[in-house]
Structure formats: structure tokens, C-alpha cells
Chains A and B, each alone.
Chain A
Amino acid sequence: MNKSLNLQEVCILRDGAPLIEVDHTIHAGEVLSVMGPSGVGKSTLLSFITGTLPSAFKGMGRVLLDGSDITQKPPHARHVGILFQDDLLFPHMSVGANLAFGMHPGGSKSEKRAKIDASLRDVGLEGFADRDPATLSGGQKARVALMRMLLSNPRALLLDEAFSRLDADLRAQVRDLVFRTARERELPVLMVTHDAEDAKAAGGEIIELKDLRAC
């Protein structure tokens, strides 16, 4: 099977005027960085791929994931993981319940629990399953958010300014963890950022979006 995220002549319009145009294939384990000033609609591109484009916008073109067209599928059936600049851990669930939220149903309780404990161990958070997310540090939350997304077995990964809230040290650490994991799991990654260093660390191709409205 052809593992890739393929954006075919994607064009996003607002009030009939084109905002973004992208035509690109991201292969497994590769990172495509989309850069541009804020307000240019970078995040809109991601919401088109997750199937949550606000009604003020109109999207055209096709999104193929591993060769199959997901453009018309509902968000929950797309298998596209996304990380935002905020961790967005659900505040009413424990760390463990957050991880369980994305896991596929089925399997016994103890199997699930074992899987959660193992993945927490992987990111150096052993024994954190029953903690309140609010008591975690910024870096810890970022790792839990990454793990929660990975446990849902996504086939592509979207990053929406995912590292911009972290301070410099932590930022490099979390970034490396995310990119390394994506390579290991052969996930195509689409990253939206305004930070040149993020794009450089990603090591992949870079698209610079211009403000089409200004032309």
C-alpha cells in the first residue's frame, strides 16, 4: 500500500477568494512544513484535512490518505491525528482516561490499562495514569497529548504550531520526540508553523505561503 498524505490541487476559498493553494504529496516518515505569517490561513488548511473546515470557508480539491480519498469522510473516520499549540487534554479526565479516549474499543480492561501504563513508560511518565492533567508540567502534558494521539493509530499527523507554547529547551526535546516517533511509525507529517527553526528541525520540504489577499 502506498503510505502517504496526498493533497491534490487543494484550494481554500473565503468569500469566493482563494486563500491557500497546495498541491503536494507527503510520503511516509516525511515532514512537510507550511510556513507563513499569521492570518494567512495555515490552520484552515489543517481543518480542511481533519474535516472541520468552518462554514465561512470553502475547500476544493482532494485529500488522499494511503491512496484512499478521505475528502468527504466525517472527521472521526479519517484517521488523521492532530496536535495544537495547547495540549488540549480533556480537563475532566485523568491522564489515563485521556489516553484511553482515543484507543479503539474492545479488549479487556486490564489489557487497556497495561497498554496505557506501557505508553506512559515510553515517554518517561510511569505511574501518571491516575493524575489530574492540570497537575502536570508543560512538557509532561505535551508528551501525554502526543501519546494520546498515537494510541488512536492515526495514519497521518498534523501539527498546528504544536511547539510554539513551549520554552526553548523543552521545545527542542518535544520536537525531536514527535519527529522521531513519526519516522518510526512511518507517518506522513504536515506541520504548520511560523517558526523557521521548527521547519529546519523537521528536515523536510518547506512551503512558504504568501498572503494571496494582498496580491
Chain B
Amino acid sequence: MLRFLPALTLLAMLGPVVAGLWGTLLPAFGHLPSAGLHGPSLDPFRNLFAWGGLADAARLSLTTGLVATALSLGIVALISASWSGTKAFRVLERLLSPLLSVPHAAAAFGLAFLIAPSGWVARLLSPALTGWERPPDFLILQDPLGLAMIAGLVVKEVPFLLLMTIAAIGQAQPRRSLLVAQSLGYGRVTGWLKTVFPRVYSQIRLPVYVVIAYSMSVVDVALILGPTTPPTLSVQIVKWMSDPDLSMRLTGAAAALLQLALVIGVLFFWWLGERFVAHFGSLWIMSGRRGQYDTPIRMFSLGLGSICALAVFLGIASLLVWSLAAFWSFPNVLPDEFTWRTWSKHGPDAFATFGETFLIAGIAVLLALILVLGCLEAEHRSGRPLSRRGLWMLYLPLLVPQTAFLPGLQTLLLSIGADVGRIPVIFAHLVFVLPYVFLSLGDPWRAWDARNAIVAGALGARPWAIFWRVRVPMLLRPILIATAVGIAVSVGQYLPTLLVGGGRVSTLTTEAVALASGGDRRAVGVYGLAQTLAALVPFTLAIVVPAVLWRNRRNLHE
């Protein structure tokens, strides 16, 4: 049985992606029998290119993806170069790691509440510094250049890349390299960038590619913070896909292929950029320059890191304040009056949606855990670790833009008459939950001292007894953390729930994003906060439960 689990895992992860791409490809060339259309034809592409907003939409996809990724990576590199190994770095790590689980949509709403013309930042500065008595008439949110959207992506991708970098740093033994560099007269930042960063980057390459693909094609953040006329390409794809006129799906499918091509193109461009940077980087290393701006760079990077962390924390706080606000006049920093009215109005619905959200997340994560633990155990027993190709396979569902295959998956499900609804949604979530659970659990699982298994076997324990009685209890903490990661991933999913659920399945995320266009900030506060809690509470439990359970077992505490 165990032997088949890796294949089953691959099927669960890649099956929907491949099926979805197929379901996109056919209608993109005019073949949609359920709408009475038979291809092949190039009309969908003609319609797509006839759409006036295409150039802007495609440009937005490119710029938001590239700029958000470059900024996030730059900030992470500077922070690590300046501070890794110090106390401040550990504080920053602790601050940022819970942010990883905050759903993108909640973070985007929080940011919107901060930087909007009537947001907290403007309120804090008004009227003393700005002289504004009324909210200024600037288009800060949904600006045509997508700057607000880029900011929303950066504050979430910095924690992600930073935690990936921290994991990679652990394997690179940076202290000795830095010590040697410093004894040769290099500054801390320059020394780190020249000696440690190249090794770290090769470890975080795939996560960086994930950030590119994600930032280029994200839908929920774009709906909240992105421009509207035209919107980003991915938002437009979703619009076409939900048009009652079925023929619009063909245009949507063609656009989905274009989105895929754009992502592949940008990934290739980035890959070329890596070569370029490597070339000039080695020239820079050869130049032997020791670096002289350490202190300003360190202060600057600390400032950037703090802004990212504060943007999310204060954003969540503003969700809370808005959900409790009665009348709130500008430029008061706090509401004129607090009330439970919004909670009593939206609370019961939000609570019911909480249940649906956790049902979907719970089943998806349970399936993911069974598959991942089975794969890891199979790997342990056969002694064959995951190959490089296997690692790419794990990242593949995260590299293919969601808008390229989820619409196709929906079309395919409809055309074979399969019911859309909760069960397909669970399997769609599994596609994204699986890789993250695998990546989160893989390293601690493999780092376990296998001599424990040899001893247990020599004491007469069968393989499954070793698994349940020795390995799982010893690795309880990482298993629960992986569970929490999986839940956070599932809770945060917008597009799979929307498209594969056919509009009939609503989770906290779909409800929250649906409120985005309505402008009811108080309701958004309730749902955004509920969404954040749904992701954060499992994390807290994952840390508290093992600590309580193993309170008398010192060696299991870190």
C-alpha cells in the first residue's frame, strides 16, 4: 500500500493541474461542446486581442509580478545581510512568522484600511501635518499603476521569503563564512552578500519562482487593491469565466493561456536575470571592495522590515477597530463611538461560514497529512530520498498560475456533468495544501535521527509500531505545525473555492472578498478578522499543544 502513495500524491497534486490545463486548452481554441461550439478556431484569441484593455491588463500582470518579487527579495536579502545571527533578527523572525499564516486577502484589507485616503495613516497625520479636514481626493487604492497592489503583495511575500531564507541559512553555515570575510576586512553586509547569499539564493530559488507566478496571477489581492479599468489580466479572466454568456468562456480560456505564457516568459526572463546578476556579482566579488555603507544599510533594512511587519499588524488592528466602530468621523484616530452592532448583524453568518471553512480545510489537510506522512515513511523505508525532479514536481502546482488551470477545471467538471460543490473544492484545495504540508514537514521528518528506528526495531518493534509509537510522537510538533500551515493555506484559498465551487461554496475568504466591492468597511472588518483568526488559531494550538503534552519531557522542547 505504502508503495503506491507517492504515485497517488502526485496524482492528487498534478492531476487537477493537468486536467485543468486541458480544460483551458480546448475552449481557447473554440471547442466547447456544452455550449454547442466546436473547434478548432482562433476566434477566442481574435476576441481576446480585440479587447481594448488587453495591453494594460497584461502589462499590470508583468509589472506587479516582477516589481513585487524583486522588492520582496531585495528587502529579504538586505535584512538577512544586515541582521542574520543577531538578536534583532530573531525578534524579527518571531514577529514575521505568524504573519505568514495571515491570509493574503485579510492582509490586503488591512493595508487598504491603513493607506486609504480616509485610512489610519491619513488620520494620524491630519489635520496637524496635512491640513486635511476631509479625506483627500487621491486615488491611493486601486491606482492604475498597481502600486497599492504591489505593496499588498510585498508585505505578505517578505515574511514568506524571509522564513525560506532562514531555513536555507541554517544549511549554509554562514557564521564561519562571515567571520572569514570580516577578518579580511569586509563589512558585515558586503561580506554576507558576497559569501553567504549565493548559496542561500540557490536554496530559495523555487520559492522565489513561486512568488513570481503568484504575484503575476493573484486574484483576491488584485480585487481588493488592484486597478479596475482595466483590471489585471487574471481578474479579467475570472470576470469572463463568470459571465452568463457561455461564449465569453472561450475568450477567458484564451486569456488563461496568455496568462500562462506570460508567467513562463517572466520566469525565463528572471532566469536570465539570475545569470546576469551572477556575472556582475562575481565581478563585484573580484573587485575586492570591502563595503562602506554598512550602518545606513542596516538601519534602512531594519526600517523596511519593520514597515512590512507593522503594515500587517496595524492592518489587522484596523480590521478589529472598524468591526467595532459606530460613527467614525475624519480625521479622528479612533471611532467616535464603539458598538457591537456589526458583530451582531454579521457574526452569526460569519460563524456559520467559519464552520464550512474548517470543514473544507480539515478534510483537505487530513488527506494531505495521510499522503505526505505515507510518502515520507515510504521514503524512509526504501532509503531513497526525494530527487531534485521530485522537488520540482512538488513546486509545480505553485508555479502554474491558478487562473491558467482552475477555469479549465471548472469547465471540465461542468462538461462531464460532475457536480460542482464542496467535494471538488476540497480536492482543489488539496492541490495547494499538499505541497506546503510536504515542504513544511519534509525537513524535520528527515532530520530525525534514524538510529531511533534501528533501536526500536532491535527491541522488536514492527515498522508501523516504530512509526506510531516512536516517530510520530517525537515529531508531534512539526506535524502539528505542518497541519496549521495546511489549514492556513486552505483558509486563504480564494479562486479554487470560487471557481470549482461554482459559486455555491462560500468560505470566509470568498465572503470577505465578495464584500470588497460593496465598501462596507465594518462588515469587511468582521470577515477579515474571522479569516485571520481561522488561520492563526491553529498555529497557536500547534505550539501550545506539544508544550503542554510534553511539559515533563525536556528533550522535546526546543
Contact = CB atoms under 8 A, between A and B. Distances in A.
A101 B469 CA distance: 9
A55 interface: yes
Interface string A41-60: 00000010011101110000
A56 B451 contact: no
A182 to B, nearest CB: 15
Interface string B442-478: 0000000101111111111111010001100110100
B554 A82 contact: no
Contacts of A90: 452, 456, 470, 474
Interface string B226-253: 0000000000000000000000000000
A89 B201 CA distance: 38
B101 to A, nearest CB: 26
Interface string A70-89: 00001111111110101010
A132 B454 CA distance: 22
Contact of B458 (A54, A56, A75): A75
B452 A88 contact: yes
A188 interface: no
A106 interface: no
Contact of B457 (A52, A84, A86, A92): A52
Interface string B77-109: 000000000000000000000000000000000
B131 interface: no
B457 A75 contact: yes
A90 B463 CA distance: 16
B449 A92 contact: no
Q: Which of A76, A77, A86 has the most CB of B within 10 A?
A: A76
Give the dominant DSSP class at B's interface: helix
Given A47-B454, A80-B458, A154-B458, A132 B383 contact: no
Contacts of A88: 449, 451-452, 455
A148 B457 contact: no
Contact of A132 (B449, B451, B455, B552): B552
Contacts of B474: 90-92
A82 B469 contact: no
B454 A75 contact: yes
A90 B460 CA distance: 15
Interface string B523-536: 00000000000000
Contacts of B389: none
A84 B451 contact: yes
A2 interface: no
Interface string B310-353: 00000000000000000000000000000000000000000000
A81 B456 CA distance: 10
A135 interface: yes
A65 to B, nearest CB: 12
A55 B469 CA distance: 24
A184 to B, nearest CB: 20
B459 A148 contact: yes
Contacts, number: 81
A50 B458 contact: yes
B388 interface: no
A102 interface: yes
Contacts of B455: 82, 84, 88
A213 to B, nearest CB: 21
B275 interface: no
A149 B458 contact: yes
A82 B382 CA distance: 22
Contacts of A132: 552-555
Nearest to A78: B458
Interface in B500-557: 550, 552-556
A149 B459 CA distance: 6
B459 A55 contact: no
A54 B382 CA distance: 9
Q: Which of A47, A52, A79, A92 has the most CB of B within 10 A?
A: A92
B327 to A, nearest CB: 55
Nearest to B475: A92
A104 interface: yes
Contacts of B476: 92
A134 interface: yes
A101 B554 contact: no
Contact of A104 (B453, B460, B469, B552): B460
B148 to A, nearest CB: 49
Given A101-B459, A152-B460, A86 B451 contact: yes
B383 A102 contact: no
Interface string A121-161: 00000000000111100000000000011001010000000
Nearest to B458: A82
Nearest to B449: A88
Contacts of A101: 456, 459, 461, 469
Contacts of A84: 451, 455
Nearest to B546: A92
A77 B457 CA distance: 8
B279 interface: no
A107 to B, nearest CB: 15
Nearest to B470: A90
A135 B461 contact: no
Contacts of A134: 553-555
B319 to A, nearest CB: 39
B383 A92 contact: no
B556 to A, nearest CB: 5
Contacts of A47: 454
Contacts of B465: 76
Contacts of A104: 460
A148 B456 CA distance: 10
12 contacts: A47-B454, A76-B462, A84-B455, A91-B474, A101-B459, A101-B461, A101-B469, A102-B459, A104-B460, A132-B555, A149-B458, A154-B458
Given A81-B459, A92-B473, 13 more contacts: A50-B457, A74-B457, A74-B462, A74-B463, A75-B457, A75-B458, A76-B457, A82-B454, A82-B455, A90-B452, A90-B474, A92-B474, A154-B458
Interface of B: 382-384, 449, 451-463, 465, 469-470, 473-474, 476, 550, 552-556
Interface of A: 47, 50-52, 54-56, 74-82, 84, 86, 88, 90-92, 101-102, 104, 132-135, 148-149, 152, 154
List the 4 closest A-B pairs by CB distance, nearest first.
A55-B383, A102-B459, A75-B457, A134-B554
